[in-house]
Amino acid sequence: MLQLNTVLLFILDFYIFFALRATNIEFVKTKWFSYLWWGYSISLLIGLFISFQYSIPLMYRSIILVAFFMTAVSKFIFAAVLIIDDIRRGGIWLSRLFSPKKVTHLEENIEELEKPLPEVPKNGISRSEFLMKSGILVAALPMLPLAWGVISTAYDYRIRRQKLVLPNLPKAFHGLKIAQISDVHSGSFYNKKAVLGGVEMLLGEKPDMIFFTGDLVNNVASEMRDYQDIFSKLHADLGVFSTLGNHDYGDYYYGKEDSPAKRKNLQDVIDTHKVMGWDLLMDENRTIKMGADELSIVGVQNWGTGRFPKKGDLKKALMGTEEKPVKLLLSHDPSHWRAEVLNTDVDAMFAGHTHGMQFGVRGENFQWSPAKYIYKEWAGLYKEGNSQLYVNTGYGFLGYPGRVGIAPEITIFELAAF
């Protein structure tokens, strides 16, 4: 796929580049234009290769992939405009060839056919003007959804309802309602009123339990200072359970090496969960009872493949749950499911982490995002054998301060035995 994309992009680059050079636009004939054109394309392809072959921060990977797809779409549209114009010009040339004007001498007829099409036709606009106006329009098109993603959809919280069928579910838990949010990334927020609106939307569903699956902050605990009171409003009769994500450890601010400041920051993040009344599960579990029936809520610290922290201890977290009929696991990174969880008797895992790249298309029966090329499970419900995974696309945002096609998500689950 990477090789095919590279070849297609270079074909488009050559076609558009030399089409522009054939116009009367002065700037495109300069060395600076060549440097900018090919420099950007080569840099983008190098970035694409690095994002696929190496473990780099998700924020940078998202920026590279979104830039690549928006650039590719722009060039495909631009190439289509050029092809249409070339077909038009070709038709004119053919009409001249097969319907030549009457001339008195054969030599004059040949000379007329050999002349290039005029840059300025008698009717219409010149090729240069046509390409310039088309280019401006095409260049603007990708910016419209990106701008709309910041202005309108960054806080456009959507509720997604999911029935979760668990064959061993005790009768007392039939119809239990669980709400899940993930990836708050409070350091990216800039609209407290909108954030509060999402919390109130969740509370309006009156869930019996609430799950939060990691990445409360971007880097440091102080980012929650202005939002702690808002998220403290989250309350459910059976509890609010949470876990840590890769951003909560401070690795992207303090570095991967241990330090007193880094340890203090992590403790501050942990304390923030407690102050908000959330039950933070650090490789441990809780038993939920309704009458004589029980189920287990299990939570692990972040565990991800590649460069992401592998701090979680699933074996430790599951200790004491052996006799429980149903085990629900909170684990931030969906890659943990295939790497470890499928080898256990966990019934369902709840994750986040991917954000759906904050860019893509998501409907009832179809979804697509650049995230699918990095994570096999990136949004929604997945099943394998007796195990299930649900990936929430996140409450907040990171890097690009918006969302295009992948709305911030509040998931409402209804448990059922069949």
> What pLDDT shows up at residue 340?
96
pTM for this entry: 0.75
> What pLDDT shows up at residue 100?
62
Is 90 or 386 the better-scoring residue by pLDDT? Answer: 386
> What pLDDT shows up at residue 67?
75
> What pLDDT shows up at residue 91?
77
State the chain's mean pLDDT as an integer: 86
Q: Mean pLDDT throughout 126-155?
A: 66
Neighbours of 229 (CB within 10 A): 13
From residue 110, give the alpha-carbon distance in Å to each of 27, 90, 98, 100, 269.
Answer: 34, 17, 12, 9, 82
Band of pLDDT at residue 82, cut at 50, 70 and 90 = confident
- Rounded to whole angstroms, the Cα distance separating 171 from 289 reads 12
Q: Mean pLDDT throughout 254-274?
A: 95
**Cα-Cα-Cα-Cα dihedral sign, residues 391, 396, 399, 403:** positive
Residue 335 pLDDT > 90: yes
Band of pLDDT at residue 146, cut at 50, 70 and 90 = low
Q: Mean pLDDT throughout 199-225?
A: 96
Is 120 or 164 the better-scoring residue by pLDDT? Answer: 164
109-126 pLDDT, tens digit per residue, is 555 544 554 545 555 556
Residue 58 pLDDT > 70: no
Is 13 or 54 the better-scoring residue by pLDDT? Answer: 13
- Rounded to whole angstroms, the Cα distance separating 409 from 143 reads 24
Closest CA to 245 of 356, 171, 355: 355
